[in-house]
């Protein structure tokens, strides 16, 4: 596991996408897992001789500084020999805020960002003001399925943001 200084620039520009864990040079026990679609902040240490792992959140929903601050609190508890109590999650951003953060974090061109925004306003307008955590229910999944069945694979791929391969509904 490489030891690096975890920064916003590293997460934006890194081409590592194989699930590798990068450990932080500044704060021992703080790390980030680099998957193809997500960057996940974690704490990996031991408490009273037992391994301890805690997921702090996903970038860019939380920044490197926020994750490092959370990790410090958790690591203080671990170093004192106490198993940390998981904090309650912060309020998640709305779908509209997440779209803006996603476009900024991925460095998406302004024209593409406008296209994504228009697509989301047109087809998912009622969900734009809702927190992302509320969009997991059956009604939203049904809306996504209806959208996928009626709008064609190309438009679905734009909405998913992947741009590769045909849409395959969950079984």
Asked if residue 170 belongs to a domain, the reply is no
Measured distance CA(3)–CA(49) in Å, rounded:
23
Measured distance CA(27)–CA(29) in Å, rounded:
6
Q: Would the pLDDT of 166 be above 60?
A: no
* 8 A C-beta contact, residue 55 and residue 40: yes
Measured distance CA(74)–CA(64) in Å, rounded:
15
Question: Count of domains in the chain?
Answer: 2
Q: Are 103 and 73 part of one and the same domain?
A: no
Asked if residue 117 belongs to a domain, the reply is yes
Q: Are 75 and 104 part of one and the same domain?
A: no
Domain final position from 79, 107, 137? 79
Measured distance CA(32)–CA(57) in Å, rounded:
10
Residue 94: strand pairing partners: 131
Residue 57 belongs to domain with CATH number: 3.30.160.390
Q: Would the pLDDT of 157 be above 80?
A: no
Q: Model-level pTM greater than 0.85?
A: no
55 SS3 class: strand
Asked if residue 85 belongs to a domain, the reply is no
Task: Tell me the per-residue pLDDT of 4-25, one tens digit each, with 9 for 90 and over.
Answer: 888 888 887 877 778 888 899 9
Task: Tell me the per-residue pLDDT of 114-151, one tens digit each, with 9 for 90 and over.
Answer: 888 888 888 778 778 888 777 777 777 777 777 777 76
Measured distance CA(22)–CA(42) in Å, rounded:
10
Q: Are 63 and 7 part of one and the same domain?
A: yes
Q: In what order do the strands lie in the sheet with 50-59?
A: 3-4, 20-24, 30-34, 39-47, 50-59
Domain final position from 79, 109, 140? 79
Q: What is the DSSP track for 104-143?
A: HHHT--HHHHHHHHHHHHHHHGGGTTSBGGGTTSHHHHHH
Asked if residue 35 belongs to a domain, the reply is yes
Domain final position from 79, 111, 127? 79
pLDDT mean over 144-166: 62
Q: Are 71 and 112 part of one and the same domain?
A: no
Range of the domain at 122: 95-160
Asked if residue 87 belongs to a domain, the reply is no
Q: Are 10 and 71 part of one and the same domain?
A: yes
pLDDT band at 71 (very low <50, low <70, confident <90, very high): very high
Measured distance CA(113)–CA(85) in Å, rounded:
39
Q: Are 15 and 69 part of one and the same domain?
A: yes
């Amino acid at each position: 596991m490489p030891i690096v200084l975890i920064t916003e620039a590293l997460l934006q520009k890194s081409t590592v996408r194989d699930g590798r864990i990068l450990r932080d040079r500044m704060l021992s026990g703080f790390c980030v897992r680099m998957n193809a679609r997500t960057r996940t902040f974690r704490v990996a240490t031991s408490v009273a001789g037992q391994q301890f792992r805690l997921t702090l959140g996903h970038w860019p929903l939380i920044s490197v500084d926020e994750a490092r601050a959370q990790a410090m609190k958790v690591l203080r508890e671990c170093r004192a020999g106490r198993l940390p109590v998981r904090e309650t999650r912060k309020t998640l951003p709305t779908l509209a805020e997440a779209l803006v953060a996603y476009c900024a974090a991925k460095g998406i061109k302004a024209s593409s960002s406008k296209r994504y925004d228009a697509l989301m306003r047109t087809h998912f307008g009622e969900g734009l003001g809702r927190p992302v955590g509320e969009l997991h229910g059956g009604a939203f999944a049904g809306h996504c399925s209806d959208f996928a069945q009626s709008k064609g694979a190309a438009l679905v791929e734009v909405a998913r943001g992947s741009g590769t391969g045909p849409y395959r509904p969950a079984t």
